[in-house]
A = this chain, B = another copy of it.
């Protein structure tokens, strides 16, 4: 009856749609099947179980990253570009970000960014051990930044909502927080991300000039 014959990509796409519309908590096999106008158990002809489906969601989102690597650019710019590309996940699939981040993938889609980043760092002159360390540091920073950006908004408000209601804190107990409530209350995610990334890029640039360590 369905115009298209129910395939794994269609199921994954429906899952991503559902997550973006109603949050990851709304995902259930029954719900996805209903959205596709299909019986629940039909899904299991294409996907072994729910965990594998979420893995496929993560892989699909990850493979949607536009990695435009410019070999002519300096290595610092290439690092910046790759970090920004990763951050685009949070823009294109904000509600899926948590799903992507909370599962590690050994699939090609998950390994490609790693491969690219290592190649860039090696071409910059870092040895293998150093390249892996730097990459891990960047990944930690990026993942942490994405988590803040996406917020702990797993199901709730679409995007907005102030991070914390800072008017309720006791100024006597938390004087700094009280004094800086304006700065803490708002957050330009892009500026914050760029700030930290710039610090990291320049730090490893300095480290390279010093003849690594």
List A residues at the B interface (Cβ < 8 Å): 98, 101-104, 106, 108, 111-112, 114-115, 118-119, 122, 128-129, 131-133, 136-137, 139-145, 147-148, 151-152, 154, 163-166, 168-169, 173-177, 179-180, 183-184, 187, 192, 195-196, 199-200, 202-204, 206-207
Contact = CB atoms under 8 A, between A and B. Distances in A.
A133 B169 contact: no
Q: Which 4 A-B pairs have the closest CB atoms?
A: A140-B144, A144-B144, A137-B196, A118-B176
A54 to B, nearest CB: 11
Contacts of A148: 136, 139-140, 143
15 contacts: A102-B147, A106-B168, A106-B169, A108-B173, A118-B177, A118-B180, A133-B192, A136-B148, A139-B144, A139-B148, A141-B144, A147-B147, A199-B200, A200-B200, A202-B203
Nearest to A183: B132
A210 B203 CA distance: 14
Given A103-B152, A203-B203, A140 B137 contact: no
B177 A104 contact: no
A141 B137 contact: yes
Contacts of A144: 139-145, 147
A169 B118 CA distance: 15
A168 B111 CA distance: 12
A52 to B, nearest CB: 14
B195 A199 contact: no
Contacts of A183: 128-129, 132
A180 B111 CA distance: 13
Nearest to A129: B183
B101 A147 contact: yes
A147 B98 CA distance: 12
